[in-house]
């Protein structure tokens, strides 16, 4: 009957990843498993009875390492090591070695030896160590970037050559210090370093550009990235990369200044066009006014008063066209007097539909594309009507053979990027667009389309102020106007106006002209204007209505009268006055002593700081110059007729 096999011996013989063998007390091999044969290259017949020192390198044998290993194992109970060992073929492998002593009845009977081939792991470790060494050298050698680590609280843990060059500190000066010392006093007051750490901790990364401070106190413009470093999900610190972009920022600022200079040059060119066009048009209008007045004077001197009406009508017509011209100029300059009201653009466009169809003619198909649920806007509805009508007329002229005209509305939400593209603030807007299928515009024409007096129409068929007026109205209303076009592909002009947080007002009934009213006994009006002709005309209108009139040429003189005991029932004043006090300031000062004083501002444009569309106090009114004497008379009667 065969002897039973020890199960432990079976286990050892089945192991091929470990060399497991026995040594006698002197170090000679007495057993050998398949793993030992695979790892060391010897068969059992070749190695049993040989001294284990043959597995050691020549250097280790010369140094007595095998003998020392057995001594340590015998004295301490175990010897462990990692070192190079030698195979039968002379090749080396990296071995993890364990030698345990075996004792029987208290005496040393030999040693159990386990060896594992760790060459691949060693090579991987060496490669990782070399990679880490090279990376460390690379980071240390980088001089264009400050690359360093922070601990979880923001203390500097290491420092590369780039950090020393950019920030001025040596590693010995800064390691262990908090990174907040690189920030400006303003950023420290705002808590920016700690906000950066919190953002990187929460989101994994923080990126920013801003001013930072060097050791010598000088500032540089930095681009900074702060990345959270995790180990098994736990934050162990932050990796920080900073780049000095001061030169690039200065170059950008220089480029922006160059662009600003170019813009100013283009602006001066536009002013030249404006001045030339304005002089040309006003010379024509003044010729009509002066010529008509000259003929009136001549006919009166001749006693020929039968045909005076034709000259009066001609002068009034020229004056009306001059007023319309200045109105368009003020619109372009964004200094016109507006009457903003909550407006439903869809309702306004629907109300204009018939007028637009008659204006463009039967050969052009008008197609509304009005959005449902359109937000209200706050604007001057009359100016919006004028803008839309002007765009429709331009579209008609661009489609001489007929076509399609689309008037659309839409609700638009602009984020930071979209707002930048439209030159607007981020927010909610209503877009009103007029699109035609006409001839379109070249890029050169589009670039100047909003310039005053720029027109592609034949001489005498356009002033070149229509689009500039629309642009000025949009900008003054807090919005923007943009053109999309290409030759042969039609044109779209889109006006963005800010959303009004409220309801659009219902259409108001047309106000009836106030009935003629004669002044009550003693009613007095103070007229303040630096233009003598205006004071004379206003005074004569007042006297025709039966009012007593007092005149003043500037704000200081007018305020002196208002602060006296003189009766003043109404103040009529220009907004722009000489002497350091404008009309609004004078009226506000006068109301300190006369709280109920009624005021009528007469102005060519509304200075926002002086009048302001939304800042008129109760009892204050505005009348835009130039005005007809009948309109002035009705306005005075209406104001003084108030309860």
CA angle at 9 for the pair 3 and 14, rounded to the nearest 5°: 120
User: Looking only at Cα atoms, what is the longest distance across the chain?
Assistant: 163
Across 140-293, the runs of DSSP E, i.e. the strands, are: 145-150, 205-213, 219-231, 234-244
Assess whether 368 and 480 both reside in one domain.
yes
**What CATH code is carried by the domain that includes residue 364?**
3.30.565.10
Residue 38 located in a structural domain: yes
* Residue that is last in its domain, among 498, 532, 552: 498
458 versus 429: which is more confidently predicted? 429
pTM of the model: 0.39
Whether 127 maps to a domain, the answer reads: no
Same domain for 557 and 618? yes
Which CATH number belongs to the domain containing residue 552 in this structure? 3.40.50.2300
| Tens-digit pLDDT profile for residues 193-205 | 999 999 999 999 9
What span, in angstroms and rounded, lies between the C-alpha atoms of 617 and 599? 10
| Domain assignment present for 169 | yes
1 belongs to a structural domain = no
Q: Which residue among 332, 349, 384 closes a domain? A: 332
Instruction: Give 461's contacts (C-beta < 8 A, 6+ positions apart).
Output: none
Span 497-519, pLDDT tens digits: 999 887 766 543 333 444 445 56
Same-domain pairing of 232 and 294: no
354 and 490 belong to one structural domain: yes
Residues 55, 193 within the same domain: no
Structure confidence by residue, pLDDT tens digits, 388-441: 888 888 888 889 888 999 999 999 998 988 888 888 889 999 999 999 999 888
Note the pLDDT of residue 137. 55
- Contact by Cβ (8 Å): 625, 351: no
Kindly state whether residues 386 and 476 are assigned to the same domain: yes
- pLDDT, residue 634, reads 86
Q: Specify the pairing of strand 570-574 against strand 524-528.
A: parallel
Token pair for 394: 């331009």
- In angstroms, the first-to-last Cα distance of the chain is 135
Number of domains within the chain:
5
Nearest to 245, CA basis, from 145, 173, 320, 107: 145
Query: Is residue 104 within 8 Å of residue 114, measured between CB atoms?
Result: no
Question: What is the DSSP-derived secondary structure letter of residue 639?
Answer: H
pLDDT score of 623 more than 90: no
Q: Alpha helix (H) ranges present in 494-611?
A: 532-545, 555-562, 583-593
In a domain, 490, yes or no: yes
The structure tokens listed for 115 are 């060896």
Q: Mark whether 534 and 597 lie in a shared domain.
A: yes
Q: Is residue 130 part of a domain?
A: no
Instruction: Give the end of a domain, one of 313, 332, 351.
Output: 332
Of the chain, the percentage scoring pLDDT greater than 70 comes to 78
Nearby residues of 578 by Cβ (< 8 Å), 6 or more positions away: 530, 554, 555
Say if residue 322 is in the same domain as residue 368.
Answer: no
pLDDT tens sequence across 353-371:
888 888 888 889 999 999 9
For strands 403-414 and 427-436, give the pairing.
antiparallel
Question: Would you say residue 278 has pLDDT above 80?
Answer: no
Task: Say if residue 408 is in the same domain as residue 485.
Answer: yes
Q: Are 432 and 390 within 8 A, CB to CB?
A: no
pLDDT at site 496? 92
Packing angle, helices 345-360 and 381-397, rounded to 10 = 40
- Domain residue limits at 441: 341-498
- Rounded to an integer, the average pLDDT of 553-567 is 91
CB 35 within 8 A of CB 16: yes
**Does residue 629 lie in a domain region?**
yes
Q: Is the domain of 353 the same as that of 284? A: no
Q: Do residues 428 and 480 lie in contact, with contact meaning Cβ atoms separated by under 8 Å?
A: no
pLDDT of residue 268: 57
The span from the CA of 514 to the CA of 517, in Å, is 8
CA distance 362 to 398: 15
* Residue 210: closest CA among 195, 222, 197: 222
Whether 128 is covered by a domain: the verdict is no
User: In this predicted structure, which of 56-70, 168-182, 243-257 has the lowest mean pLDDT?
Assistant: 243-257
CATH number at residue 197: 3.30.450.20
Whether cis (ω within 30° of 0) applies to the bond prior to 213 is no
- Identify the H or E element spanning 354: helix 345-360
Q: Are residues 393 and 479 in the same domain?
A: yes
Of the candidates 595, 403, 390, the one whose C-alpha atom is nearest the C-alpha of residue 493 is: 390
**Predicted local distance difference test score (pLDDT) of residue 455:** 57
Residues 189 and 299 in one domain: no
């Amino acid at each position: 009957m065969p002897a039973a096999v020890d199960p432990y011996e079976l286990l050892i013989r089945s192991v091929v990843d470990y060399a497991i063998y026995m040594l006698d007390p002197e170090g000679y091999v007495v057993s050998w498993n398949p793993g030992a044969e695979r790892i060391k290259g010897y068969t059992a017949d070749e190695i049993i009875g040989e001294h284990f020192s043959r597995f050691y390198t020549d250097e280790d044998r010369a140094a007595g390492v095998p003998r020392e290993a057995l001594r340590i194992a015998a004295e301490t109970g175990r010897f462990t090591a990692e070192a190079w060992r030698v195979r039968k073929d002379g090749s080396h492998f990296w071995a993890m070695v364990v030698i345990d002593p075996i004792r029987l009845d208290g005496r040393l009977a030999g040693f159990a030896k386990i060896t594992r081939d760790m060459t691949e792991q060693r090579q991987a470790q060496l490669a990782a160590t070399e990679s880490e060494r090279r990376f460390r050298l690379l980071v240390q050698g980088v001089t264009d970037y400050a690359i360093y680590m922070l601990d979880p609280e923001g203390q500097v843990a290491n420092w590369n050559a780039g950090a020393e060059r950019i920030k001025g500190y040596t590693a010995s000066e800064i390691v262990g210090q908090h990174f907040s010392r690189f920030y400006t006093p303003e950023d420290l007051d705002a808590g920016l370093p700690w906000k950066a750490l919190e953002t990187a901790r929460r989101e994994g990364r923080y990126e920013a550009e801003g001013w930072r401070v060097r050791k010598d106190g000088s500032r540089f413009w930095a681009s900074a990235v702060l990345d959270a470093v995790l180990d098994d999900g736990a934050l162990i610190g932050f990796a920080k990369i900073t780049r000095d972009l001061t030169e690039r920022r200065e170059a950008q600022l220089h480029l922006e200044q160059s662009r600003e200079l170019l813009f100013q040059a283009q602006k001066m060119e536009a002013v030249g066009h404006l001045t030339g066009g304005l002089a040309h048009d006003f010379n024509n209008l003044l010729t009509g006014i002066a010529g008509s007045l000259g003929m009136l004077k001549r006919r009166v001197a001749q006693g020929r008063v039968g045909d005076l009406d034709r000259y009066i009508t001609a002068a009034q017509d020229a004056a009306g066209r001059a007023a319309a011209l200045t109105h368009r100029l003020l619109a372009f300059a964004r200094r016109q007097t507006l009457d903003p009201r909550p407006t439903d653009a869809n309702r306004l466009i629907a109300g204009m539909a018939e007028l637009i169809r008659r204006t463009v003619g039967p050969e052009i198909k008008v197609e509304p594309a009005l959005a449902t649920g359109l937000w209200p806007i706050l604007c001057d509805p009359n100016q919006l009507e004028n803008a839309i009508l002007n765009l429709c007329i331009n579209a008609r002229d661009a489609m001489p053979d007929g076509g399609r005209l689309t008037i659309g509305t839409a609700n638009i939400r602009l984020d930071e990027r979209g707002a930048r593209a439209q030159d607007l603030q981020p927010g909610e807007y209503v877009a009103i667009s007029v699109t035609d299928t006409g001839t379109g515009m070249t890029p050169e024409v589009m670039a100047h389309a909003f310039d005053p007096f720029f027109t592609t129409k034949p001489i005498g068929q356009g002033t070149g102020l229509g689009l500039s007026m629309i642009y000025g109205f949009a900008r003054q209303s807090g919005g923007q106007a943009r053109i999309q076009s290409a030759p042969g592909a039609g044109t779209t002009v889109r006006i963005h106006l800010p959303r009004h947080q409220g309801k659009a007002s219902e259409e108001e009934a047309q106000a009836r002209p106030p009935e003629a009213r004669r002044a009550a006994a003693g009613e007095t009006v103070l007229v303040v204007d630096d233009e003598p002709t205006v004071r004379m005309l206003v005074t004569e209108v007042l006297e025709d209505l039966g009012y007593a009139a007092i005149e003043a040429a500037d704000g200081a003189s007018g305020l002196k009268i208002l602060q006296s005991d003189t009766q003043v029932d109404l103040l009529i004043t220009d907004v722009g006055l000489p002497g350091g006090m404008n009309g609004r300031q004078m009226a506000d000062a006068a109301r300190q002593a006369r709280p109920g004083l009624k005021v009528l501002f007469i102005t060519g444009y509304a200075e926002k700081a002086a009048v302001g569309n939304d800042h008129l106090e109760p009892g204050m009114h505005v009348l835009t110059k130039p005005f007809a004497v009948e309109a002035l008379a009705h306005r005075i009667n209406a104001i003084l007729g108030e309860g």
